[in-house]
Structure 1
Amino acid sequence: MLWTQRFFALLDVICLILLAQQAYTQYQSLLSNEVLTSLEFFSRTLFLLGWFSLIFSAILLAIPKKAGLWLYYAQLPLRLIFFIFSFGFISLLTYIVNWQIITNILMPLIVFGELLRLYYSVQIHKVYHK
C-alpha cells in the first residue's frame, strides 16, 4: 500500500506538469487588466487552488502521510469540476492515434481510473490510517 500511495503521488506530479500551461494562463488572466465577472474570478481562483494543492498532495502522498489522503478527498470536487484527473494523461493518446472509437472510450476510461483511485485511497485509509 505504501507504493500505491507513491504511485498516486507520481500521478499527481504528472497531472501538475500537464496542467502547468493552463494554470499559467489562468494566473495571467487574473493579473491582466480585463474585467472579470465574479463567476470567472471565482472559477479561475478555484482552478489555481486545485492546481497548487496537487503539489502538496504529491508531497504528502510520497512521504506517505494521512494528510495526503485527506487532501485528495478535498480535491475530489475540484478534480471533477475542472477535469483535473489523475489518469488524464491517457487522453494524449489521441495525438498519436486518430481513431474515432478511441476518443469515445477514453473519457469513461479516465473517469473509471479516477474512481479506482478513490476506491484504493479509501482502502488504504481504512487499513493504515485508522
Structure 2
Amino acid sequence: MLHIDIHSFSYKKGGIPKDDSGNGGGFAFDCRGILNPGRIEEYKSQTGNDIGVQEYLETKTEMPKFLELIKSLVSINIEDYLARGFENLQINFGCTGGQHRSVYSAIKIAEFIKEKYPNGTEVTIHHDEQPQLNISNP
C-alpha cells in the first residue's frame, strides 16, 4: 500500500512540512505564482475549501493549468512507486498564508489521486494552517 501524505502549508508561517516517513521529503509545489483570492475582500475569511474561492481559482487564474501539470508529474512517481512497492510519498502545496491556493490544490490533487489510483493507495490530507479542515479523509 502506498500512503500518500498531502499537505497545504504557509511559506511565511512554517515552511515546507517535514517528512515523518523517514524518506526525507517529496514534492513541494509553490502556489504563490497563482493570483491570490485572499487579496479580494469577499474571500479573505474563506479558504480553498469554499465554493467562491474555488470558482475564482478555476475561472480567474492559471490554477487549472498548474494542477494539470502537477497531475502529470505526480502520476509518474505514483505509478513507479506502486510498481516498486514503495510505501510513502509526500506532496506539499505552499502559498503565502496556507489558506486559499494551497488548500485548494491539496484538495484537488487528493481527489485526482483517489479517482485515478483507487487500488493500492491511501491518501491523507493535512491542512497545516487550517486545522479545522482536517477531518477524516476516507
Give the TM-score taking structure 1 as reference length.
0.28
**Structure number with higher strand proportion:** 2
Q: Which has the higher contact order (CA 8 A, sep 6+)?
A: 2
More helix by share: 1
